[in-house]
Amino acid sequence: MALDGAFSHLTIEVSDLDKSEAFYLDVIGLDLLGRDMVAENRPTSLLALNTRQRVLLVEVPEVPPYPASGGSIHHAWLLTMEQFAKARDRLEALGYETGIDPRQSFRAVGEFNMDIHDPDGNRFQIQAFGEEGTEILASGAGTVACGKFGEFAPGSVTRFAEGRFFLVRNRDGFLALSAWCTHKNGITAWQKESWHYYCPFHGAKFDGNGVYKGDMGCQPLRLNPVSIADDGTVLVDTGRFFARDGYSPSQAVPARPGAAFQCGGLHPLAVSFEKHVGKAPG
């Protein structure tokens, strides 16, 4: 079976309707549609977001306690960056702490978050995604000398943490895959046992050649140009990035001295930040 529907509303039990309604209007920034518009045998207040989604507050005599480890129960308000800036000002003016994101290490670049609790202790994320999430971030490592090409076995994936790339030797030669996730600039990790790159920020997966597998519509991992010096040293230029639509063997640099990256058919990308090491989960 499939519902084939859409999310309609979140019902939240509250112990004091007036107090909670004021919180959701003045602090969170929802709109009031009205009271008692829904078939509940308790007082209710219906609030609107800008999309079809609604929030229904229901006043109950007692809000049930969370499990002791209930800190993982939460809901996330999605704001535009403009709304987020306003929310931060509003929250600060009201005396809320906004600077600390307790789970910062799990956020991608350009993912902004504030945690807030409602009067009954429900935890909410207030989140927004900025442009940094899709910008091209150079590591500042310049050209990295990885070692002699013979040191990398066919089938190997070697992570260069400082340069933010993976050196891949596949059957066609060498690829340097930028570790920045093409979704929102998380940092991907190679999961050998699953034979894919995994981004823990929102779960994107990329196959061994860095091609996205899934339904978020992400581009393949970007390429940093590889060349092999006459003495056999594999060099990766971490200051240049190329986008591609998928994998083709011509993207790989043959394993022989003097071989160089061919950028024909690939799209060069302008670097937004010359040095940005970001946050790595692992």
Partner 1 sequence: MAEVESISHSGICVHDLKEAEEFYCNVLGARVHSRVNFKTQDALRGRSIHTTLTLDDYVFAVMLTEDWMEVPDAGQLRGANRTRHSFCVPKARFPKVLEMLEAVEVPFEGPVMHPEHGPFGESVYFRDPTGNFLEVLWRRDEDVVYSTVQPLGHGGGG
Cβ nearer to ligand FES, comparing 218 with 253: 218
7 makes contact with partner 1 (CB under 8 A): yes
* Paired strand residues for 260: 227
Please list every residue from 168 through 227 that binds partner 1, using CB under 8 A: 183-184, 189, 198, 200-205, 214-216
- In the complex with partner 1, which residue's Cβ is closer, 140 or 281? 281
Task: Give residue for tokens 């670049």.
Answer: 109
DSSP assignment string, 202-264: T--EE-TTS-EESSS-PPPPPEE-EEE-TTSEEEEETT-EEE-SS--GGGSBPSSTT-B---T
H-helix segments, 23-70? none
The option from ligand FES, partner 1, none interacting with 46 (CB < 5 to 8 A, set by class) reads partner 1
CB-nearer residue toward ligand FES: 12 or 204: 204
Q: Which of residues 43-102 bind partner 1 (CB under 8 A)?
A: 46, 48-56, 58, 60, 63-70, 72-80, 83, 86-87, 90
Binding partner of 31, given partner 1, ligand FES, none, CB within 5-8 angstroms per partner class: partner 1
Matching residue, tokens 């302008």: 270
Minimum CB distance to ligand FES smaller for 28 or for 137: 137
User: Could you say which DSSP state residue 26 is in?
Assistant: I
Residues 173-232 that bind ligand FES (CB under 6 A): 181, 183-186, 199, 201-204
Q: Compute the distance between CA of residue 220 and CA of residue 127 in angstroms, rounded to an integer.
A: 26
Tokens of 245: 């639509």
Question: Which entry of partner 1, ligand FES, none binds 150, CB below 5 to 8 A by partner kind?
Answer: none
CB-nearer residue toward ligand FES: 88 or 184:
184
Which helix or strand (DSSP H or E) is residue 146 part of? strand 143-148
Give the one entry of partner 1, ligand FES, none that residue 4 binds, where binding means its C-beta sits below a cut-off of 5 to 8 angstroms depending on kind: partner 1
> What does DSSP assign to residue 180?
B
Binding mask 230-249 for partner 1 (x = CB under 8 A): --------------------
Of 134 and 227, which has the nearer Cβ to ligand FES?
A: 134
The Cα–Cα gap between 211 and 219 comes to 7
By the 8 A CB rule, do 207 and 231 touch? no
Q: Is 164 in the site for ligand FES (CB under 6 A)?
A: no
